[in-house]
Structures are given as structure tokens and as C-alpha cells.
Amino acid sequence: MENYFNTLSLREQLAQLGKCDFMKAKEFENGVQQLVGKKIVIIGCGAQGLNQGLNMRDSGLDISYALRDEAIAQKRPSYQNANAENFKIGNYQEMIPSADLVINLTPDKQHTDVVSKVMPLMKKGATLSYSHGFNIVEEGMKIREDVTVIMLAPKSPGTEVREEFKRGFGVPTLIAVHPENDPQNKGFELVKAYAVATGGDKAGVLNSSFVAEVKSDLMGEQTILCGILQTASILSFDKMVEKGIEPSYAAKLVQYGWEVLTEALKHGGLTNMMDRLSNPAKIEAYKLADELKKIMLPLFNKHMDDIMSGEFSKTMMQDWANDDINLLTWRKQTEQTAFEKTEITSQDISEQEFLDNSTLLAAFIKAGVELAYDTMTKSGIKAESAYYESLHEAPLIANTIARKKLYEMNRIISDTAEYGCYLFDHACKPLLKNFMEKVEKNVIGQSFSKTNEVDNQELIKINEQIRNHPIEIIGAKLRASMTAMKKLD
């Protein structure tokens, strides 16, 4: 098997990377009809498997689970997840031959093995689905010619796929049909119905390609979504403690600060998030973000280049072949950080106090979102996709940190995202050493506004620059169609 993207001509690479059509509500008029009465079998019942299955069943579809024999025999968490929700469960031999749609929601590392086992059992003309295109694009997996291959990629952790659905909303979703596997020309209608069943149509669906999904998803998760949040959490916590802020207060400020800031981001973009700061703090956050962008640009470019060339996937697959030695070591190290181990204070912190005392966190979000968006769009990824993959998803990841810090984020995201997040984090922290040495507690841990005045002309210029960044333009357009978006409880 060879990297599919690298086998394409440049023309075809650009065409697939640039495929990204924002779908109108009326294109979903048929609802879930195409899947009603079809037997849908999900393989794996983890972060995506469980939550997509629950949404699809609530949408009136026939959902059951195929688990590997040992998961059933040992009643592993996947079995317990499916069983507790009263889903029908069986092994591959029992479940796959009668399935019309098989949804592979096992970890990316397992896809070649799982798909190779499942493919001979699939009935003629059935459909196989993925939620991330790594196996097809980076590993070059070939699927039987009679099988239709589709992808529905929620731009969200699995837990939030469910939470947003329960709120009557959804998460932005990329859908695609693999051009090499659509023998009956039915993939598009099926995957549209699948998007309605998971709730994606309420938040925004992009008709995209496997290639565009993989290259943008890997970039978003490694940089702004998980990498930046991890790096900035650890550095900000350590800085506060070094400057004498009570550790339990510092831990709480970081754990929940991301959620407060990105809730403002979700509803009104960077403009609204920055407007929620005091004017002196906004100016300071803007300046810090500018510095951060200069320092981190080469790292963002490196991640994008390595993702595009296949270098990233090659090194991660070497780790797979090496029993995940790097992933497991880095996971353990993250569990041992002082931020992770510090109990949070029971003291109440008001929403405004979170905003006032987190100028540096706001700067990290602004720098990370704009850099991720700019790097992706300069590499051929479309604006809508880059927006979902940076700004819109950041709050959904922040929700996981608010539950149980970085442990929860890294547990909920895919192993692929977790690996890329650590890779970024380890390269980023040393780059930020000099920057962090200059940081004082007036930008993290305490309020900036008390001691500072505002130059009106400077503020006007900064407001204009924040509002006119291209991500704010596309964001306002996309959010205008998110009429069902709800605020956090």
C-alpha cells in the first residue's frame, strides 16, 4: 500500500484538496430517508462509535454494533458502552454479512487490520464508512470495487457530537465519497442522510473529499485544537505558580478559562472574544498574540508541510509499528505535569474574573486560530473547512478540558490527534522559552486593566485589524446559518 495522496497528479491533488462546497439546508430535505430500514452496523464503540450511534438511533435508524471477539468475551468498555444503551451486539461474522452500511469507528491505527477482516464478509454492493480518511489517503487502503466508500467526519470530539445533538444543534461535518469507490453512484445521497442522522446538518455540512478532510483535520488537531491548548495550559499554569499565584487557583483558571473564552469565540468569533476583555487587556492580548504568531509561524508551517508530504503519517506509522512507544511515553508524561496533578480550588471564579485574569490565554487562542487558518488556507484548504477546523472546534475541545483537564482532552480525541498534539507540544515549548520568561502575572493570574490606560487611536486600529482578519469574514457568514446554536448550560 502506498500514500494515496502522493500517487495523485498535482492537478488531482489540488482538485481534491480544494473540494469544499457548503451545503444548503434544502439539500437535506429528504432527511434520513435513504437510511430508513437499512441495517447499519458500527464497528467499535468508543468516542465516535457510541455517540454517533446514539444520535442515529434517536433519528430513527436501525443501529447495532460489531465488536471484536475479545471485546465481547472480556466485556471490555466498548461492549459495556453498547450494552448499557441496549444496542444489539455481535461479532464480525454475526453482524457484517447482513449490513447495508458498515461504519468503521475503530482507531486509525487499526483500520487496515479491521477493514481487511471485514471486507470479505460484506455483502455485494454494501457501503463502508469512515469518520477520518487516514486509512484511505495516507495508507492507500484499497476497497473492493463493488463497495461504496463514504466518509462522515464530525469536526468535534465524540462526546460533543452527542452533547450538541441533545441541545438540538449539531457539529459541523465534512462528508465525502471516495472517487475510486462509488460504483452505483449512491454514496452522496447516503452520506447526506447520515449527516442528518448525526445532527451535522444543523451546524453546517461541507461536501468535501477524503484528501481535504485528512490534511485539514491533522493540521487543526496538531496545532490550535489540541497542541496549543496543551502547551499553553502547562506553560500558563507553571508561570502562575512561579509568580506566587495559589496553585489551586491557577489550576482552576486554566481548566475552565479555555471554556469561558472559547464560548465567546463560538458565538461571535475572535472579535467577540477580544471584546469580552477590558480595553487595556484587549490591546495587550493583541500584542502578545502578534509576538506569539511570529515565534510559532515556522512550527505551524513545518506541521503543514509534514502533513502534506506524508512525512507526519510516516513517522506516526513507525510509532505504531514500534508498539506506540512514543505515544504511550508522552501520554504518561502529560499525566505527571503539575497542572494535571493539582487539585482545583473550591473558590468561585466569576465569568468576568476568568476573562480579566486570562489575557495570555486569549492571546494564545487568537494567535493559534489565526495561524492555523492562515497556514491551512495558504496550502489549498478552503476557508470554510479551515474555519471549522480551527475556530469552531476550539470550544468543543475546551469543553473536554473543563471536564478533566488535559487527561480528558487526550482521552476523548483520537489516538492520531493525541500523537500529533504531543509532537507539537514538545516542539513548541522550547520555542516559547524566551517569550515566557518575560510574562508577568498581570497577564495570567491577575487583571491587566487595573494598572493600564488606553490610547484611543491604538484601540481603533487594533479593533479594525481583529474584525478584518479573513477568518472573521468567513466566520460571520457561516455562523449566520447556525440558527440552532445553543449556549452552554
Ligand X SMILES: NC(=O)C1=CN([C@@H]2O[C@H](COP(=O)(O)OP(=O)(O)OC[C@H]3O[C@@H](n4cnc5c(N)ncnc54)[C@H](OP(=O)(O)O)[C@@H]3O)[C@@H](O)[C@H]2O)C=CC1
Strand order in the sheet with 62-66: 20-22, 205-208, 173-177, 148-154, 127-130, 101-104, 39-43, 62-66, 88-90
C-alpha cell at 319: 510509532
Cα separation, 164 vs 433, in Å, equals: 38
- The reply on whether position 444 binds Mg ion by CB under 5 A is no
Listed in sequence order, the residues at least 6 apart from 321 whose beta carbon sits closer than 8 Å to its beta carbon are none
**Given 231, 357, 399, 416, the residue binding ligand LWWEY6Y5 (CB under 6 A):** 416
The nearest distance, CB 115 to ligand X, in angstroms, is 10
> Tell me, what amino acid is at 221?
E
Query: 29 labelled as ligand-binding?
Result: no
Listed in sequence order, the residues at least 6 apart from 157 whose beta carbon sits closer than 8 Å to its beta carbon are 47, 396, 397, 399, 400, 412, 413
Compare residues 84 and 476 and give the one whose CB is closer to ligand X: 84
Cα separation, 75 vs 290, in Å, equals: 51
**Alpha carbon separation from 431 to 232, 243, 336, 426, 489 (Å, rounded):** 12, 21, 22, 9, 37
Q: Is 331 left (phi over 0), alpha (psi -120 to 50) or beta?
A: alpha
Query: 138 labelled as ligand-binding?
Result: no
Q: Which of 466, 407, 110, 139 is nearest to 287 (CA)?
A: 466
**Pick from ligand LWWEY6Y5, ligand X, Mg ion, none: which does 225 bind, CB < 5 to 8 A by kind?**
ligand LWWEY6Y5
- The reply on whether position 225 binds ligand LWWEY6Y5 by CB under 6 A is yes
Compare residues 155 and 366 and give the one whose CB is closer to ligand LWWEY6Y5: 155
Binding-site residue total for ligand X (CB under 6 A)? 30
C-alpha cell at 118: 471485514
H or E stretch covering 205: strand 205-208
**Pick from ligand X, ligand LWWEY6Y5, Mg ion, none: which does 128 bind, CB < 5 to 8 A by kind?**
none
Q: Which of 56, 123, 126 is nearest to 87 (CA)?
A: 56
Active site residue 111: no
Helix ranges (H only) for 138-228 are: 158-166, 187-198, 200-203, 210-220
The nearest distance, CB 174 to Mg ion, in angstroms, is 9
Residues linked to residue 102 through DSSP beta bridges, in sequence order: 41, 128
The nearest distance, CB 61 to ligand X, in angstroms, is 18
**Pick from Mg ion, ligand LWWEY6Y5, ligand X, none: which does 226 bind, CB < 5 to 8 A by kind?**
ligand LWWEY6Y5
**Running DSSP on this structure, what letter comes out for residue 450?**
G
What is the pattern of x (binds ligand X, CB under 6 A) and - over residues 105-144? xxxx-x--xx----------------xx------------
**Residue in 132, 178, 303, 392 annotated catalytic:** 132
- The reply on whether position 385 binds ligand X by CB under 6 A is no
What is the pattern of x (binds Mg ion, CB under 5 A) and - over residues 403-422? -----------x--x-----
The nearest distance, CB 153 to ligand X, in angstroms, is 6
Query: 305 labelled as ligand-binding?
Result: no
C-alpha cell at 134: 487516514
Compare residues 53 and 157 and give the one whose CB is closer to ligand LWWEY6Y5: 157
Residue recorded with cell 461504496? 148
Q: In this chain, which stretch among 197-205, 219-227, 245-253, 355-363 interacts with ligand LWWEY6Y5, using CB under 6 A?
A: 219-227
Q: Is 454 left (phi over 0), alpha (psi -120 to 50) or beta?
A: beta
The nearest distance, CB 129 to ligand X, in angstroms, is 10
Listed in sequence order, the residues at least 6 apart from 180 whose beta carbon sits closer than 8 Å to its beta carbon are 142, 143, 149
- Taking the alpha carbons at both ends of the chain, their separation in whole angstroms is 47
**Given 138, 164, 213, 221, the residue binding ligand LWWEY6Y5 (CB under 6 A):** 221
Residues 148-207 close enough to bind ligand LWWEY6Y5 by CB under 6 A:
155-157
The nearest distance, CB 157 to ligand LWWEY6Y5, in angstroms, is 4
Binding-site residues for substrate, please? 278, 414
Binding site for ligand LWWEY6Y5 (CB under 6 A): 155-157, 217, 221, 225-226, 397, 413-414, 416-417
Binding-site residues, please? 217, 221, 278, 389, 393, 414
Active-site residue set = 132
Binding site for ligand X (CB under 6 A): 44-49, 67-68, 71, 76-78, 105-108, 110, 113-114, 131-132, 153-154, 157-158, 412-416
Binding-site residues for Mg(2+), please? 217, 221, 389, 393
Binding site for Mg ion (CB under 5 A): 217, 221, 414, 417
